[in-house]
């Protein structure tokens, strides 16, 4: 909360200073730079630049970045899970992502950059993850032991959708953009791999346990395990919803 208040204060201060410098008669205020406030608690920095290109039309470009680290709200997520294996994996999981989102906005009011709008958009996203994967091996003599293979990989998605939103003016230079609902759909492709010398027994156990956790509906997963490690290819549909609350500076 303190971080959020500080960011809002800095944006408002910068907006007032910028307006004082650019308030001459030729200034048309066709541009807005924004930060999505709702992404900050999830360790995401989400910025957007919007420019008016016609009376009721604008174009925008969004950039989202989360540095690789623990999953967002890690302690809260772990408290909600009642599965020791899932808890162990999520505790050690490191993940990050990057996304770029171009869109065109059609405002339904008198002019662009204010009021309700609809916005067709496309999105390219790339997610990265690394995990020391624990698996249990039966030696065939009634004994079990644990092994660990370091897995690392990425998932790329390309989607398209329609954003519904409304932008408000909080002052001469400050705006608030409410991304109400933005359903999106497309495809995904990814790979997860790890290197480790494995015995035949270890290969079989690792293959079975990887197939258990990658048994996903509507997604094609190909798992290959040999004496040198494991490789998992993932391909299938991808869906999601965009939402947010962005504070901006108009100039």
Domain ranges of the chain: 2-128+154-188+236-250
Q: How remote is the C-alpha of 109 from its chain's centroid? A: 31
pLDDT of the residue at 140: 73
Q: Which two tokens stand for residue 131?
A: 């995990």
Q: Which two tokens stand for residue 127?
A: 């997610």
**For residues 114 and 105, is the Cβ–Cβ distance under 8 A?**
no
**d(Cα 208, Cα 49) in Å, to the nearest integer?**
47
pLDDT of the residue at 88: 72
pLDDT of the residue at 143: 82
**d(Cα 152, Cα 165) in Å, to the nearest integer?**
37
**For residues 158 and 202, is the Cβ–Cβ distance under 8 A?**
no
Count of C-beta atoms within a 10 Å radius of residue 78: 13
pLDDT of the residue at 136: 87
**d(Cα 120, Cα 159) in Å, to the nearest integer?**
11
**d(Cα 133, Cα 230) in Å, to the nearest integer?**
11
Fold of 2-128+154-188+236-250: Porin (2.40.160)
pLDDT of the residue at 216: 77
pLDDT of the residue at 24: 41
Count of C-beta atoms within a 10 Å radius of residue 219: 14
Low-confidence ranges of the chain (pLDDT < 50): 1-27
pLDDT of the residue at 217: 82
pLDDT per position as a tens digit, 166-213: 999 999 899 999 999 999 999 999 999 999 999 999 999 999 989 888
**For residues 29 and 19, is the Cβ–Cβ distance under 8 A?**
no
| Secondary structure tally for the chain: helices H, strands E | 4, 9
């Amino acid at each position: 909360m303190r971080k959020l208040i500080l960011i809002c204060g800095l944006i408002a201060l910068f907006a007032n200073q910028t307006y004082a410098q650019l308030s001459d008669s030729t200034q048309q205020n066709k541009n807005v730079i924004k930060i999505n406030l709702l992404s900050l608690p999830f360790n995401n920095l989400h910025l957007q630049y919007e420019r008016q290109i016609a009376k009721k039309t604008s174009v925008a470009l969004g950039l989202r970045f989360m540095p690789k680290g623990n999953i967002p709200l890690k302690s809260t997520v772990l408290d909600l899970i009642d599965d020791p294996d899932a808890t162990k994996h999520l505790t050690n999981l490191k993940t990050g992502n990057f996304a770029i989102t171009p869109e065109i906005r059609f405002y339904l009011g008198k002019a662009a950059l204010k009021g309700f709008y609809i916005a067709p958009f496309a999105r390219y996203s790339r997610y990265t993850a690394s995990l020391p994967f624990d698996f249990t091996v039966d030696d065939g003599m009634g004994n079990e032991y644990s092994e660990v293979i370091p897995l690392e990989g990425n998932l790329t998605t390309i989607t398209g959708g329609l954003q519904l939103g409304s932008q408000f003016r909080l002052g001469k230079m400050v705006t608030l953009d409410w991304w109400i609902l933005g359903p999106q759909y497309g495809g995904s492709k990814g790979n997860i791999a790890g290197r480790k010398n494995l015995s035949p027994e270890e290969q079989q156990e690792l293959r079975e346990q990887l197939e258990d956790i990658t048994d996903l509906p509507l997604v094609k997963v190909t798992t290959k395990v040999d004496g040198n490690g494991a490789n998992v290819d993932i391909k299938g549909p991808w869906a999601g919803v965009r939402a947010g609350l962005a504070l901006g500076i108009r100039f």
